[in-house]
């Protein structure tokens, strides 16, 4: 019999368990929206901006509307109902979204962090203004890999905008019941390696929005006395410190290393002892020489940092987005890198006009502190033929980011570039330890030329993927890299020689080690020609779906889904509904309709593996690429489970006989995505993806569901626990 004390303890434990479960399984509300207008009072015929403000929880981000909807993530879309009191002017404009290149999707997307704002300009045609519509969007977090699609409705009327004057004489007739306004095309296809979706039709576009919206977003309509929200959003509110600072530090580390490499070029290396000797010998005292050398180094840093600042001011955030996503700048950068490589190979030298050098050198001869600065300027100009391609590469890499990146990139490069001049001036005895100038300096340039040529392909690949030219498929890209680095290896061994190279009677030990590393990299690349994933280079290579010859895919097909162990793989009981446009990754077979999966599970006596997923869920794709691909996971999914992939964002309209009104939010569910989004919320009180559930054919949950977790061992344990629980349940039922 339980005592009062023991029952109290059990109650406390139960409450703690419920709180812990509630912290994991809950309907989340990561974003709230409010509406405002640019002007509170307008006349008929005037234009006014409708303002949509989003406040986003910490560690979450909201996808914007101004990137390719076929990339993969779900773009924000606004739909406006036709009404004779207004007409749209232009398209929805996101206000200063951030942008980022995603290796998994293979393209650039834009997003908001902290706060976001969208604006739509309209022209008022009648005093009785009424603007109604809806919007769809997606929020994600990188903390635990969840992504959630949402939607909501909005209304603007005379409560927000007071209209004076008579109605316009000619109003645009309403030809359609609704119109969708985004900065892209209306259709959105899934761009993953294993899932394809047909274009969205007008019928599916006008279907109602996602079911979970009512519970997951607080909509605030601005009352009459609400103050107008500022028309621009402070850039500081749109930054993600965890992500952006990491990117900047990575760029600075690469730039710093590039500065050290630049010192080893034939234009710069011989000038180190010459310059240091000038400061140590020509000054009145050693202290003064050290001070002047320090000013010399700081001047170099200042000059390069100013260059980075100018680039940042010229491009800015808007220019950065254009540079990163449009084909023209990417093709230009490809050509620039090829020209840089040709220069390093010795075909020609990139030099500045001699008149510039003469004028700057004349200023350096003036002496004093001004002369020290112009001496630094002279070094920058004289070394341009060697450092120009390196500096250009850093600026190209950083121009696709925010304004701070070019500045910090140039600062890091110049710091490494200037540091030896100052250190050797302080410790002149170190000069004796420097290797003598020679042919090895030119070898450094040539090796840099090979690297520049390889990097050039990345820019052409971005344009090729975005515009689907089909020029650089994955095997073509890999073939070119294999050739480039093979030639580089032969050059390091002295088997390849350019016209300006010195004779190489023997190779040094460091050169041999560099050759070994280069050929090792080539051997690593070769399996990629036959479909190996090469995960270490996934951010630099085109998507695997562009590979024509993939042995892994062929093996999966010839073995009934990839079961090479001779054990029966997951066989289908019937043709999957929606299987003509939905696919499972890695050759797996399964269903996209829960009822079919339940029926097959009952026939085969297997548990069901439910994958709550979405076309625009980047973390779902990451789980598939890094966890599902593991042989231990694939074996269990094929042999032990009936798989049901339930897409919560699919626009496919259900047959009218399957439409129903949700008990959760009271909305009618007409599409496949809304149906399973509603099912996920009502059954599991969760609205985030990815979300994995193991159940039997009667929808009894076998083990606690899990979400995003890239630990393969944990996923294997999860699957094994589900099988064990299913067997135990079957035994108990006998």
- Residue where a domain terminates, one of 181, 197, 227: 227
Are residue 588 and residue 642 in the same domain, yes or no?
yes
For tokens 């559930």, name the residue.
693
Tens of pLDDT, residues 609-655: 999 988 767 778 788 888 998 899 999 999 999 999 999 888 888 99
Are residue 465 and residue 518 in the same domain, yes or no?
yes
Packing angle, helices 286-325 and 404-426, rounded to 10: 160
Domains held by the chain: number: 4
Q: Residue 342's pLDDT band (boundaries 50, 70, 90)?
A: confident
Residue 180 has pLDDT above 50, yes or no: no
The pLDDT of residue 537 is 74
| Residues 216/148, Cβ–Cβ less than 8 Å | yes
The pLDDT of residue 201 is 33
Segment 524-546 mean pLDDT: 76
Q: Using the 8-state DSSP alphabet, how is residue 27 labeled?
A: -
HEC assignment per residue over 270-325? CHHHHHHHHHHHHCCCHHHHHHHHHHHHHHHHHHHHHHHHHHHHHHHHHHHHHHHH
The pLDDT of residue 380 is 67
Residue 7 lies in a domain: no
Are residue 158 and residue 37 in the same domain, yes or no?
yes
Q: Which domain holds residue 277?
A: 239-434
SS3 60: strand
Are residue 445 and residue 429 in the same domain, yes or no?
no
Are residue 109 and residue 185 in the same domain, yes or no?
yes
Residue 583 lies in a domain: yes
Residue 54 has pLDDT above 50, yes or no: yes
Segment 362-372 mean pLDDT: 57
Identify the CA nearest to 611 among candidates 631, 639, 632, 583.
583
Are residue 254 and residue 398 in the same domain, yes or no?
yes
31 membership: H or E segment, kind and range: strand 31-37
Q: Whole-angstrom Cα distance, residue 385 to residue 351?
A: 5
Between 241 and 283, where is the model more confident? Answer: 283
Tens of pLDDT, residues 505-520: 888 898 899 999 999 9
Alpha helices in 559-617 (DSSP H): 594-604
Question: And the tokens for 406?
Answer: 């070019």
Tens of pLDDT, residues 576-587: 998 888 888 888
Q: Whole-angstrom Cα distance, residue 46 to residue 122?
A: 8
Q: Whole-angstrom Cα distance, residue 645 to residue 582?
A: 9
| Residues 522/486, Cβ–Cβ less than 8 Å | yes
Are residue 279 and residue 328 in the same domain, yes or no?
yes
The pLDDT of residue 40 is 87
Are residue 475 and residue 617 in the same domain, yes or no?
no
- Residue where a domain terminates, one of 509, 524, 548: 548
Cβ neighbours of residue 212 closer than 8 Å, sequence gap 6 or more: 27, 148, 149, 150, 665, 677, 678, 680, 681, 687
- Residue where a domain terminates, one of 522, 548, 574: 548
Tens of pLDDT, residues 371-407: 667 667 766 665 655 565 566 656 655 554 455 767 7
For tokens 């170190």, name the residue.
430
User: At 98, which CATH number?
Assistant: 2.60.40.1250
Q: Residue 16's pLDDT band (boundaries 50, 70, 90)?
A: very low
SS3 183: coil
Q: Whole-angstrom Cα distance, residue 678 to residue 649?
A: 11
Are residue 344 and residue 482 in the same domain, yes or no?
no
Residue 18 lies in a domain: no
440 membership: H or E segment, kind and range: helix 439-467
Q: Using the 8-state DSSP alphabet, how is residue 247 labeled?
A: H
Residue 104 lies in a domain: yes
Identify the CA nearest to 683 among candidates 710, 715, 705, 707.
705
| Residues 27/685, Cβ–Cβ less than 8 Å | yes
Between 566 and 501, where is the model more confident? Answer: 501
Are residue 506 and residue 409 in the same domain, yes or no?
no
User: At 701, which CATH number?
Assistant: 3.40.30.10
Q: How far is the first Cα of the chain from the last one, in angstroms, to the nearest whole number?
A: 32
Segment 708-725 mean pLDDT: 92
Identify the CA nearest to 362 among candidates 375, 353, 344.
375
Are residue 534 and residue 585 in the same domain, yes or no?
no
Question: And the tokens for 652?
Answer: 């496919």
Beta strand 608-613 with 642-647: parallel, antiparallel or unpaired? parallel
The pLDDT of residue 465 is 63
Are residue 71 and residue 145 in the same domain, yes or no?
yes
Q: Whole-angstrom Cα distance, residue 512 to residue 52?
A: 61
Between 215 and 8, where is the model more confident? Answer: 8
Identify the CA nearest to 651 among candidates 628, 677, 629.
677
Residue 42 lies in a domain: yes
Residue 314 has pLDDT above 70, yes or no: no
The pTM (predicted TM-score) of the whole model is 0.43
Length of the chain: 734
Residue 366 has pLDDT above 90, yes or no: no
Residue 163 lies in a domain: yes
Distance set, CA 610 to CA 34, 116, 617, 674, 691 (Å): 35, 34, 16, 16, 8
CA 288 to centroid of chain Cα atoms = 50
Residue 554 lies in a domain: no
Residue 557 lies in a domain: no
| Residues 160/40, Cβ–Cβ less than 8 Å | yes
Tens of pLDDT, residues 151-179: 888 999 888 888 887 654 444 444 444 44
| Residues 609/591, Cβ–Cβ less than 8 Å | no
């Amino acid at each position: 019999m339980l005592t009062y004390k023991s029952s109290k303890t059990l109650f406390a434990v139960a409450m703690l368990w419920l709180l812990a479960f509630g912290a994991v399984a809950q309907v989340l509300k990561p974003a709230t929206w409010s509406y405002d207008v640019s002007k509170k009072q307008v006349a008929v015929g005037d234009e006014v901006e409708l303002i949509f403000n989003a406040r986003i929880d910490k560690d979450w981000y909201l996808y914007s509307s101004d990137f390719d909807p076929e990339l993969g993530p779900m773009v924000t879309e606004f739909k406006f109902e036709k009404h004779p009191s207004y007409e749209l002017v232009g398209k929805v404009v996101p206000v200063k979204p951030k942008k980022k290149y995603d290796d998994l999707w293979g393209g650039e997307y834009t997003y908001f962090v902290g706060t976001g704002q969208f604006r739509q300009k309209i022209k008022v045609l009648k005093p009785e203004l009424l603007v109604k519509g809806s919007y769809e969007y997606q929020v994600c977090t990188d903390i635990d890999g969840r992504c959630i699609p949402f939607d909501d409705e909005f209304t603007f009327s005379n409560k927000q905008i007071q209209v004076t004057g008579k109605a316009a004489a000619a109003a645009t007739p309403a030809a359609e019941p609704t119109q969708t306004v985004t900065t892209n095309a209306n259709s959105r296809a899934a761009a993953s390696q294993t899932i394809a979706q047909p274009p969205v039709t007008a019928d599916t576009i006008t279907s109602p929005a996602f079911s979970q919206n009512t519970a997951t977003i607080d909509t605030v309509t601005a009352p009459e006395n609400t103050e107008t929200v500022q028309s621009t959003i402070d850039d500081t509110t749109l930054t993600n410190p965890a992500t952006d600072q990491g990117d900047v530090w990575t760029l600075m580390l690469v730039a710093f290393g590039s500065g050290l490499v630049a010192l080893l070029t034939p234009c710069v290396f011989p000038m180190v002892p010459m310059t240091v000797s000038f400061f140590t010998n020509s000054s009145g005292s050693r202290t003064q020489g050290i001070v002047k050398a320090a000013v010399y180094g700081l001047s170099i840093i200042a000059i390069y940092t100013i260059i980075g600042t100018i680039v940042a001011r010229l491009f800015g955030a808007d220019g950065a987005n254009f540079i990163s996503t449009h084909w023209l700048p990417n093709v230009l950068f490809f050509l620039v890198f090829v020209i840089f490589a040709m220069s390093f190979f010795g075909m020609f030298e990139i030099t500045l006009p001699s008149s510039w050098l003469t004028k700057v050198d004349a200023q350096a001869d003036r002496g004093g502190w001004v002369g020290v600065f112009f001496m630094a300027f002279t070094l920058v100009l004289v070394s341009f033929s060697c450092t120009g391609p390196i500096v250009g590469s850093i600026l190209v890499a950083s121009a696709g980011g925010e304004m701070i990146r070019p500045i910090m990139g140039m600062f890091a490069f110049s710091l490494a570039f200037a540091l030896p001049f100052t250190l050797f001036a302080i410790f002149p005895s170190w000069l004796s330890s420097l290797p003598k100038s020679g042919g090895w300096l030119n070898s450094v340039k040539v090796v840099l030329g090979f690297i520049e040529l390889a990097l050039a392909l990345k820019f052409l690949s971005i344009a090729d993927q975005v515009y689907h030219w089909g020029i650089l498929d994955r095997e073509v890209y890999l073939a070119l890299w294999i050739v480039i680095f093979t030639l580089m290896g032969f050059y390091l061994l002295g088997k390849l020689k350019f016209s300006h190279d010195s004779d190489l009677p023997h190779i040094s030990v460091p050169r041999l080690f560099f050759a070994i590393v280069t050929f090792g990299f080539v051997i690593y690349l070769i399996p990629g020609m036959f479909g190996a994933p090469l995960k270490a280079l996934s951010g630099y290579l085109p998507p695997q779906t562009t590979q024509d010859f993939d042995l892994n895919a062929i093996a999966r097909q010839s073995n009934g889904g990839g079961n090479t162990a001779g054990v029966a793989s997951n066989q289908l009981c019937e043709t999957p509904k929606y299987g003509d446009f939905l696919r499972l990754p890695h050759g797996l077979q399964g269903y996209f309709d829960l009822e079919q999966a339940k029926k097959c599970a009952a026939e085969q006596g297997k548990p069901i593996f439910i994958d709550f997923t979405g076309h625009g869920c980047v973390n779902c794709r990451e789980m598939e690429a890094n966890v599902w691909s593991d042989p231990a996971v694939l074996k269990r999914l094929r042999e032990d489970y009936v798989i049901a992939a339930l897409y919560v964002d699919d626009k496919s309209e259900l047959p009218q006989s399957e439409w129903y009104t949700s008990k959760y939010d009271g909305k009618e569910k007409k599409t496949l995505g809304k149906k399973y989004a509603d099912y996920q919320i009502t059954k599991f009180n969760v609205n985030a993806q990815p979300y994995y559930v193991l159940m039997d054919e009667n929808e009894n949950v076998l083990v606690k569901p899990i979400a995003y977790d890239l630990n393969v061992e944990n996923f294997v344990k999860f699957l094994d626990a589900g099988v064990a629980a299913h067997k135990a349940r079957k035994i108990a039922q006998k």
